[in-house]
Chains A and B, each alone.
Chain A
Amino acid sequence: MRGASGDDPDSGEGPRGSDGGDETDGSTNPATETAAVTDGEGERATPDERDDQTTRHDGSGESSLGDDPEPPATETGATDAVDASEIDPAELTVDERSLHPRIRTIWIVRAIGWSLILGAIAVGATWQWLEITLLAPVGFAAALLVLTVTHAILRYRAWQYEFREDAIYLERGVLTRVRTVVPFVRIQHVDTARGPVDRVAGLSTLVVYTAGSRGADVTIPGIEAERADEHQRRLKQLAIAAEDDTAV
């Protein structure tokens, strides 16, 4: 396990780490925002240009927001070529970094919450139906609390992600350590998702989809909202730069 970068989420940031954030636009608030990676920055369709039929490829550009639940298709074509040549993947990489510490707090609070609920049920059930001392269920709850909180802390410590020049690299897992490499060429689309708890904490979850069956595995929780949007943009550009025609 690599040393976690402690409480400073920025410690792993590369020198160019934050220069992608200059184009924050207003479209970052929907709970799920989908950036179809293969759409160029070309023509941007206004909402009324997007007729009710079907396709996401008639230039919905960056504004293809999350109102379309279906995954976008893989590639368009010529319009991307211009963009691809202008992107330098080396400028967009993100050095190895851990999640924002607030997600650890969320996980710990959640662990405590569940332990308390389960503990309360155990205590209640014992009190109601079993003629034994309440020490047992209380001990159970305490053990559960320690285990789940430890798990939450270790889980945070194990989480690590990195945008390399050609792939996303993730490392995570407490009991089972999982290391995933997702080449940018394989990215189908990228979501940022923000549940209610995420929104309160100002965090966001980045979900990267591939055509593979393990695609749902590629979820990075606990990223600051603006950074998640920025990552999303980066991934989009990196995916365009790495464009590939071997569609499924």
Chain B
Amino acid sequence: MKLHPLSVPYRAARTVGNLFVILIFAFFGIPQFLDGAFAVAVTGLLIIVGLLAILGWQYAYYRRYEYELTDNTLDIDAGVLSRRSREIPYGRIQNVSIERSIVQRALGLAEVRVETAGGSQSEAHLQFVGKAEADRLQNELSDRKRQSREERTAAAGAEVAPGETDTTPADRRELLFEMTSRELLVLGIVSLDSRILPLVFFALTPFLSEIGDLLGGSAGVAVLVLPAIVLAIYLATGILSAAYAVTNYYGFRLWEMDDELRYERGLLQRFSGTIPLPKVQAVTITENVLARRFGYASLAAETAGFSPGQEGGSEAAVPIARRDRVVELAESIEPVDLPAFERPPKRARTRYVARYSIVLGILTAASYGAVAAGWWGGQWWLTLLAAPLVPVAAHLKWRNLGYALTDDHVVTRNGFWSRTTKIVPYHRVQTVVDTQTIFQRRRGLATLHVDVAGSRSLVSDDSKALDVDRDVAAELRETITTRLLEDLAERDERPEDRFQDAPIDPVESEAASGPTRRDTGAGGSQPE
């Protein structure tokens, strides 16, 4: 099948937008070397030729782009100079997402991405198909994924529930969660996006010298001004984060359909995606300090697929909801009763006191140095006012740590500002690592990391039990490994589980290794 014809002018317009700087340069640069009407003619000609070339290229891209749903694979043939054909077995597909910017919505276009495990980019990226076709693809791929799983289960001799293929997708889906305007409001209030902070600081730079003058005055003024500035930064970040979160998650709805979760969200740019439940690697509950205060939390289900969304690899299943509702949803994704957490030993807390004291010491030394060097006219001891906060901070950090082993899961909890609780089923554990820094060794502590397949962990957001006793860490390491193997052996005995997400059977082994490629021709251009 082909992309939507409108994708040609749209892609061309986008390319022109990307090349805008070069075009500007051409427009104003060329008349410098030539003069008069000749320059205008040359510039105009170049621009026209350039536009035609872009349009031609995009037309060729459109002509060459061909996708097809075969019995077992999604096939894509693409590429203008360097051609590539790719086969993605249905059983390997993790997420299918649809993205529609406001312009695309006006044109009736949609961008479809298909993710598999591994790989740093989407395995299939259709730019662009029609809205109806995008929905059809999403449904069709879900159906076929399910069928390929059922076929494997049937091949293993297990009972298969009759497929309900005669009903429409809309009939089978069940609304799990719909965000109310109240929740959207809460989301706006509690969302504090640290990525916005640099932006705020950047906006502040013109006023730096004024701020410096204010701070350089008497100590009394500095004591008043500093909190005011911090508050201002906080408010600005908060307002921007709120605006971002609200546009992003406006109209959020979550359905369960067969064995997938589907979500839809967005005010200007609409997103819609799937989270296959049998492929969920870990479930994360995140509550930042404000959300905790109001009794709200967010939920993310992590799969091994790479989604280029802002969640860096996994899409939030529920951006915000009352905590009990989130826990309930988490328990429906991974059957686990959130247990009571074990805290690390008290000497871990002592360690944080020491750590924060050292940080404060360094800050004080720096401020002393700044005063001594005459860069700052304030009082060097101002930083010491934060000293009473050290034990409080250490206690809060310690209080929010925790780990627990349940029958089927390892659960870890970390963080005060943003407390994340990670639930990892034993059978998803990849490696178990315990580390001891030189400081931890002094106190007989160790950190246990539980690694699962997935891209989210890349940003050091892995499941870990921080600063537990050294012997406990060693014991946990062995226990988790043993439970992993036991769980896998158990699943081996129950075919319906074993084949829940088993690979393609040997008949299809040609396609069994995930997406496959045939590259012909040279050059690095790839289908997007």
- Contact indicator A78/B481 (Cβ below 8 Å): no
Known: A57-B510, A213-B454. Contact between A180 and B502, CB under 8 A?
Answer: no
Q: Residue A181 contacts which of B433, B437, B505 (CB distance < 8 angstroms)?
A: B433
Known: A175-B438, A214-B457, A247-B503. Contact between A166 and B481, CB under 8 A?
Answer: yes
Q: Residue B509 contacts which of A58, A213, A246 (CB distance < 8 angstroms)?
A: A58
Q: What residues of chain B lie closer than 8 Å to A244, measured between beta carbons?
A: 488, 492
Q: What residues of chain A lie closer than 8 Å to B509, measured between beta carbons?
A: 55, 57-58, 76-77
A175–B442 CA distance with the chains assembled, in angstroms: 12
B347 proximal to A (CB < 8 A) = no
- Contact indicator A79/B506 (Cβ below 8 Å): yes
Q: What residues of chain A lie closer than 8 Å to B457, measured between beta carbons?
A: 212-214
* Minimum Cβ distance to chain A for residue B497 (Å): 9
* Minimum Cβ distance to chain A for residue B464 (Å): 11
* Minimum Cβ distance to chain A for residue B267 (Å): 33
Q: Flag the segment in A66-74, A100-108, A118-126, A131-139 that touches B.
A: A66-74
B458 proximal to A (CB < 8 A) = yes
- Contact indicator B518/A52 (Cβ below 8 Å): yes
Q: What residues of chain A lie closer than 8 Å to B288, measured between beta carbons?
A: none
- Number of residues from A at the complex interface, CB < 8 A: 43
- Contact indicator B512/A176 (Cβ below 8 Å): no
> Which residue of the partner chain B has the closest CB to A74?
B503
Q: What residues of chain A lie closer than 8 Å to B506, measured between beta carbons?
A: 76-79
- Contact indicator A246/B462 (Cβ below 8 Å): no
A183–B427 CA distance with the chains assembled, in angstroms: 11
B148 proximal to A (CB < 8 A) = no
A56–B499 CA distance with the chains assembled, in angstroms: 22
Known: A53-B516, A54-B518, A218-B431. Contact between A176 and B488, CB under 8 A?
Answer: no
Known: A182-B431, A183-B484. Contact between A245 and B503, CB under 8 A?
Answer: yes
> Which residue of the partner chain A has the closest CB to B514?
A73
A175–B437 CA distance with the chains assembled, in angstroms: 6
Q: Which chain A residues in 143-187 approach chain B with CB under 8 Å?
A: 166-167, 173, 175-183, 185-186
Q: What residues of chain B lie closer than 8 Å to A175, measured between beta carbons?
A: 437-438
A100–B43 CA distance with the chains assembled, in angstroms: 68
- Contact indicator A245/B462 (Cβ below 8 Å): no
- Contact indicator A185/B485 (Cβ below 8 Å): yes
- Contact indicator A180/B512 (Cβ below 8 Å): no
- Contact indicator A211/B118 (Cβ below 8 Å): yes
> Which residue of the partner chain A has the closest CB to B474?
A179
Known: A55-B511, A55-B512, A176-B435. Contact between A247 and B485, CB under 8 A?
Answer: no
* Minimum Cβ distance to chain B for residue A246 (Å): 6
* Minimum Cβ distance to chain B for residue A18 (Å): 27
A20 proximal to B (CB < 8 A) = no
> Which residue of the partner chain B has the closest CB to A246?
B427
- The contact string, 1 if C-beta is below 8 Å from chain A, for chain B 413-450, is 00000000000000111111111111001000000010
Q: What residues of chain B lie closer than 8 Å to A71, measured between beta carbons?
A: 118
Among A58, A71, A178, A212: residue with most chain B CB under 10 A? A212
A75 proximal to B (CB < 8 A) = yes
- Contact indicator B510/A77 (Cβ below 8 Å): no
Q: What residues of chain B lie closer than 8 Å to A130, measured between beta carbons?
A: none
Among A175, A180, A244, A246: residue with most chain B CB under 10 A? A246
- Contact indicator B118/A248 (Cβ below 8 Å): yes
* Minimum Cβ distance to chain B for residue A79 (Å): 7
Q: Residue A245 contacts which of B437, B477, B499 (CB distance < 8 angstroms)?
A: B499
Among B458, B514, B518: residue with most chain A CB under 10 A? B514
Q: What residues of chain A lie closer than 8 Å to B430, measured between beta carbons?
A: 182, 186, 210-212, 214-215
B253 proximal to A (CB < 8 A) = no
* Minimum Cβ distance to chain A for residue B89 (Å): 9
A34–B462 CA distance with the chains assembled, in angstroms: 28
* Minimum Cβ distance to chain A for residue B46 (Å): 41
- Contact indicator A55/B118 (Cβ below 8 Å): no
Q: What residues of chain A lie closer than 8 Å to B184, measured between beta carbons?
A: none
Among A55, A73, A75: residue with most chain B CB under 10 A? A73
Known: A53-B516, A56-B513, A77-B503. Contact between A166 and B452, CB under 8 A?
Answer: no
A217 proximal to B (CB < 8 A) = yes
B2 proximal to A (CB < 8 A) = no
* Minimum Cβ distance to chain B for residue A81 (Å): 10
- Contact indicator B431/A214 (Cβ below 8 Å): yes
- Contact indicator A179/B433 (Cβ below 8 Å): yes
- The contact string, 1 if C-beta is below 8 Å from chain B, for chain A 177-217, is 11111110110000000000000000000000011111101
* Minimum Cβ distance to chain B for residue A5 (Å): 21
Q: What residues of chain A lie closer than 8 Å to B453, measured between beta carbons?
A: 210-213, 248
B136 proximal to A (CB < 8 A) = no
A2–B469 CA distance with the chains assembled, in angstroms: 19
Known: A175-B438, A176-B435. 7 other contacts (CB 8 A): A55-B513, A78-B506, A79-B506, A166-B485, A179-B435, A213-B451, A246-B428
**A residues neighboring B (CB under 8 Å):** 52-58, 71-79, 166-167, 173, 175-183, 185-186, 210-215, 217-218, 244-248
10 pairs across A/B with beta carbons < 8 Å?
A: A53-B518, A73-B512, A76-B506, A79-B506, A178-B433, A178-B434, A179-B434, A181-B433, A214-B449, A215-B431
